[in-house]
Structure 1
Amino acid sequence: MVEQETGAGSRDRVLRAAMAMFGEDPGARLSVRAVAARAGVSTGSLRYHFPTQRALQDAVLAGVYDVVAPGDRIHDKSAPARDRLIDCLRQVLAPAGVGEQARAGWSEIFKTYIEPEPTDENRAAYLAIEREAQRRVEYWLTVLGDEGALADGDNARRARFLVTVLNGLSIARALPAGDSILATETETLHAAVDHVLGSRA
């Protein structure tokens, strides 16, 4: 029974179950016991394929984003990992616009999430947005890690750092600037990505 449970079929069942659970509640933490029960495998079998909860989550995110964004630049191995990650991060910044468009966007964020007294509802809404940004960046880092372009380490921590950089850059797009915003932004993105690609933690 253990041999059968540790085959490719059980791995696929675990991934399908975890992806279904993620689809039902993207904010939920994927519990090993709950996923194993849903997949109809033992927790030992699940751990055979995914030794840590992080490994399971990374595999689920990779599956989700392969479906959602199959043409994502992160998969273009003809370009260096650094350039691909920077291009992906720019995708996040692009909708914010520059100048008036960026000011309007941040004004709306301020009115919705900062100015009013926090409620459970607006806190949950903001955290859901933040989680999705974090998960997307973690996915890109996982792809680069699988290719060997990124040292083993804590991708959640690296993603938090990059999301914080993106938040700062999007605010900078809304503020008056003496220098070229795009030149400063490019320099900052290069420094952040170089730090992450060279980091071991």
Structure 2
Amino acid sequence: MEQETGVSSRERILRAAMAMFGEDPAARLSVRAVAARAGVSTGSLRYHFPTQRALQDTVLAGIYDAVAPGDRIHDRSVPARERLADCLRQVLALAGVGEQARAAWGEIFTTYIEREPTDENRAAYLAIDREAQRRVEYWLTVLGNEGALAEGDNRRRARFLVTVLNGLSIQRALPSEESILTTETETLHAAVDHVLNSRF
């Protein structure tokens, strides 16, 4: 494999892992496969990413930052309620609407629900879920540091919001007589209001 001049082994590992994940989101990103694709030794990979989970979490964080850069959560000129709702909308936008949402949920159903998931599929799904949870917890921490959110368990709050997002993304794939934008906005505001006004 031809090595890129001036690119660190850590960067080569991340690029290889992201490419593999892009080709197959259910991929487990095995240490050997990623190291081979990156043109580094498994020891080098383990030096930068001691566990497979550390590698998967870093890859997913990078992918999320690439597709949804510049979280609006830091824009204090906008009320906390709207900032959090906008950040949640960013996540929903990745799910698409209509045919795109149906295709995505069809793939999820086939890979993780229809039959017992393999260890590799389970690990891939859990990594995606952890990244979603991490991102929402980060947004809540920012709001808490500003005093816009009462003290409480941000992990539980994030789990609640991620569950709401999952439901809304399924709704995007299903037929509806109402405007998805209207019902989605109402649901997001109800969920955000609950989180901002509750101690849980």
SS of 1:118's equivalent? Answer: coil
Question: 1: distance between equivalents of 2:124 and 2:136?
Answer: 19
Amino acid at match of 1:142: T
Give the structure 1 partner of residue 194 of structure 2: 195
Residue 71 of structure 1: how far off its partner (Å): 2.6
Deviation by residue 1:122-179 (Cα, 9 ceiling, x = unmatched): 1111000000000000000000000000000000000000000000000000001011
Residues 26 and 141 from structure 1, CA distance in 2 versus in 1: closer, same or farther, beyond 3 angstroms?
farther
Residue 22 of structure 1: how far off its partner (Å): 9.8
Structure 1 runs (4+) greater than 6 angstroms displaced: none
Deviation by residue 1:8-52 (Cα, 9 ceiling, x = unmatched): xxxxxxxxxxxxx99654846xxxxxxxxxxxxxxxxxxxxxxxx
Is contact 2:161-2:191 (8 Å) kept? yes
Give the structure 2 partner of residue 91 of structure 1: 90
Residue 112 of structure 1: how far off its partner (Å): 1.0
Question: 1: distance between equivalents of 2:193 and 2:185?
Answer: 12
Q: Percent sequence identity over matched residues?
A: 79
After TM superposition, list the pairs within 5 Å mapping 1:77-116 onto structure 2. Answer: 77-116=76-115
Amino acid at match of 2:176: A
Is contact 2:136-2:158 (8 Å) kept? yes
Give the alignment's Cα RMSD to 1 decimal.
2.3
TM-score, normalised to structure 2, is: 0.67
After TM superposition, list the pairs within 5 Å mapping 1:1-201 onto structure 2. Answer: 24-25=50-51, 27=53, 68=65, 71-201=70-200
Question: 2: distance between equivalents of 1:179 and 1:112?
Answer: 30
TM-score, normalised to structure 1, is: 0.67
Aligned pair count? Answer: 145
In structure 1, stretches of 5+ residues that fail to align are: 1-20, 29-63
Question: 1: distance between equivalents of 2:166 and 2:77?
Answer: 29
